């Protein structure tokens, strides 16, 4: 008998860093993995995991899930750390306070938000450390216009203050503010480079979509890395690139070969989801992306948007209301191939772009479980990681299980390690690692959420521990468990 809190007995332990892939016991004390070995003595609690894979929990670099319900769906998909990096939330100190006060099923962390800092500096909007403020104002032209020099200075000061407060980097939703100038973008990258912090960009329109654009969205990211030396992370290459994924990845690959720090991520779905009031969803702009109003499904009512007039009405009434946007056709083999290219691109990490849940009725108590049928989201919230594992290792994919798991855990942890020392203990399953652990069945792990049934949890994820506490046990949520802790920069 040892003083370990729990021993996971006899599972196939895969550590993507060391290459360990053997049947072993894993002993956890407190929030730390203490020992991995064969025939370990008993701990206070024992769990037989024979026949299952035991590996590091997944680190999601792109989660807008700011509610307990959405994060529970992510935990059921193997996620143990969900970071809001692309949009970011400003002020970050308030975002961390809010999360700590409400409790979180998984570990959480935030980048500073260029969009919110811009809303404050350019449009005088009051910030509260919540993403909802961004969504509520997403469609307002006031924050999308070119900024005067003093306004750029003010927003850079806000971002610098967030970085000093432990923000994990700077999220740059430049694609949502067409009036923001390329010089402003370079100054944000320059600030990040000075602070040794990464940036996370939702790219501007590509030149193929808007031939008269001030700069191509992909070129802008790559150029900023080259000119400022900043680490530029290119968010969801699959969705902002649409059928130009090959061109964008070629550009990124050349920049990487030339020594620029550009990294990428993808999620394995053909549709996106965002606030219906986004600038690029204006009826007169849909054709740029080959879309029509009926490419959009408004989540709150489930309606396919019938006409440009109805789209205008919805954008006016509920600009932050979320809509599914069909970008690639998941039934078309050529489009599926593009999604696989974005996932298998060397170094690309799996990241979900998980969304806050939309309620078609009154929002229930935050701890209500199972979720009522009034919860709607994009299936990527519940299914990204299981779906990626299935596609990469079984249904057509050529990756080994360890390689695919590495894209979900080790690769994102490494990507963030320079700025976030805590990442050295995540994304690995080794003595001394944080006890963020997922136990899964590699033969059956799969997404089950669909566009029609968007909150259906993944299958094959048997147990999930976050900081040594069970968040998921025997495939279901542990009632009341909120073991998530903050992840901050040093």
- Which residue lies nearer to Zn ion by CB, 134 or 470? 134
Query: Shortest Cβ distance from residue 374 to Zn ion (Å)?
Result: 25
Report yes or no: 331 and 356 within 8 Å, Cβ to Cβ.
no
Residue among 202 and 244 whose Cβ is closer to Zn ion: 202
202 binds Zn ion (CB under 5 A): yes
Among positions 332-351, residues that touch Zn ion (CB under 5 A) are none
Min CB(478)–Zn ion separation in Å: 31
- 175: Cβ–Cβ under 8 A, 6 or more apart, which residues? 202, 203, 204, 205, 217, 240, 280
Phi/psi of residue 377, nearest 5 degrees? -155, -175
The rounded distance, in Å, linking the Cα atoms of 103 and 482 is 6
Rounded to the nearest whole angstrom, what is the least distance from the CB of residue 113 to Zn ion in the complex? 12
Instruction: Give the distance between the most distant pair of CA atoms in the chain.
Output: 70
Pattern 354-373, binding to Zn ion, x per CB under 5 A?
A: --------------------
Q: Does 378 bind Zn ion (CB under 5 A)?
A: no
Cβ proximity of 246 and 107 under 8 Å: no
Least distance in angstroms from the C-beta of 267 to Zn ion? 10
β 107-110/79-84 pair status: parallel
The span from the CA of 440 to the CA of 461, in Å, is 4
Q: Choose the stretch contacting Zn ion; rule: CB under 5 A; options: 197-205, 255-263, 279-287, 386-394.
A: 197-205
Angle at 456 (CA atoms; ends 350, 50), nearest 5 degrees: 70
Residue 143 CA to residue 124 CA, distance in Å, equals 9
Closest CB to Zn ion belongs to which residue? 202
| 244 binds Zn ion, rule: CB under 5 A | no
Both tokens of 303, joined, read 């309606």
Taking the complex as a whole, the smallest distance from the CB of residue 172 to Zn ion amounts, in Å, to 10
Tell me, by CB under 5 A, how many residues bind Zn ion: 1
Cβ proximity to Zn ion: between 415 and 478 the closer is 415
Q: Kindly write out the interface string for residues 167-186 of this chain, putting x where it contacts Zn ion by CB under 5 A and - elsewhere.
A: --------------------
Task: Pick between residue 90 and residue 433 the one whose CB is nearest to Zn ion.
Answer: 90
| DSSP β-bridge partners for residue 25 | 37
Identify which range of 154-162, 199-207, 277-285, 392-400 contacts Zn ion by CB under 5 A: 199-207
- Give the dihedral sign, CA 356/362/368/371: negative
Q: Which is nearer to Zn ion, 202 or 204 (CB)?
A: 202
CA-based nearest residue to 379, from 64, 104, 73, 81: 73
Run of H or E including 447: none
Q: 55 or 454: whose CB is closer to Zn ion?
A: 454
CB of 132 to Zn ion, least distance (A): 16
Residues binding Zn ion (CB under 5 A)? 202
């Amino acid at each position: 008998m040892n003083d370990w809190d729990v021993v996971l007995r006899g599972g196939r332990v895969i550590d993507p860093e060391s290459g360990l892939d053997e049947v072993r016991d894993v002993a956890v004390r407190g929030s730390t993995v203490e020992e991995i070995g064969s025939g370990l003595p008993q701990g206070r609690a024992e769990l037989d995991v024979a026949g299952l894979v035991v590996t590091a929990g997944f680190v999601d670099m792109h989660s807008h899930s700011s509610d307990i319900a959405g994060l529970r769906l992510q935990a059921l998909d193997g996620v143990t750390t969900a970071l809001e990096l692309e949009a970011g939330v400003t002020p970050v100190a308030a975002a961390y306070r809010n999360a700590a006060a409400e409790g979180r099923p998984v570990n959480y962390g935030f980048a500073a938000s260029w969009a919110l800092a811009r809303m404050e500096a350019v449009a005088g909007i009051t910030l509260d450390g919540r993403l909802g403020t961004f969504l509520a104002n997403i469609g307002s032209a006031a924050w999308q216009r070119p900024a005067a020099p003093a306004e750029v200075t003010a927003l850079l000061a806000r971002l610098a203050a967030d970085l000093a407060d432990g923000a994990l980097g700077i999220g740059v939703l430049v694609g949502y503010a067409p009036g923001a100038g390329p010089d402003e973008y370079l100054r944000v990258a320059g600030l990040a480079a000075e602070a040794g912090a990464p940036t996370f960009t939702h790219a501007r329109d590509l030149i193929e979509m808007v031939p008269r654009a001030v700069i191509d969205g992909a070129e802008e990211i790559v150029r900023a890395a080259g000119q400022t030396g900043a680490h530029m992370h290119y968010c969801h290459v699959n969705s902002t690139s649409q059928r130009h994924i090959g061109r964008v990845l070629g550009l990124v690959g050349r920049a990487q070969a030339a020594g620029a720090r550009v990294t990428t991520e993808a999620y394995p779905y053909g549709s996106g989801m965002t606030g219906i009031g986004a600038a690029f969803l204006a009826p007169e702009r849909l054709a740029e992306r080959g879309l029509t109003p009926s490419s959009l499904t408004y989540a709150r009512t489930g309606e396919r948007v019938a006409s440009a007039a109805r789209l205008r009405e919805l954008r006016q009434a509920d600009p932050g209301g979320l809509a599914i946007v069909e970008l690639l056709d998941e039934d078309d083999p050529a489009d599926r191939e593009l999604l696989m290219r974005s996932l298998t691109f060397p170094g690309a990490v799996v990241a979900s772009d998980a969304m806050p849940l939309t309620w078609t009725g009154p929002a229930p108590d935050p701890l209500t479980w199972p979720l009522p049928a009034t919860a709607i989201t994009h299936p990527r919230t519940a299914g990204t990681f299981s779906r990626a594992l299935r596609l990469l290792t079984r249904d057509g994919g050529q990756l080994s299980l360890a390689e695919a798991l590495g894209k979900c855990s080790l690769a994102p942890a490494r990507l963030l390690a320079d700025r976030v020392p805590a990442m050295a203990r995540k994304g690995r399953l080794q003595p001394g690692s944080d006890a963020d652990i997922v136990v899964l069945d590699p033969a059956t792990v799969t997404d089950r959420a669909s566009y029609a049934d968007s909150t259906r949890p993944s299958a094959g994820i048997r147990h999930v521990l976050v900081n040594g506490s069970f968040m998921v046990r025997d495939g279901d949520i542990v009632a009341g468990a909120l073991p998530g802790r903050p992840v901050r920069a040093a």
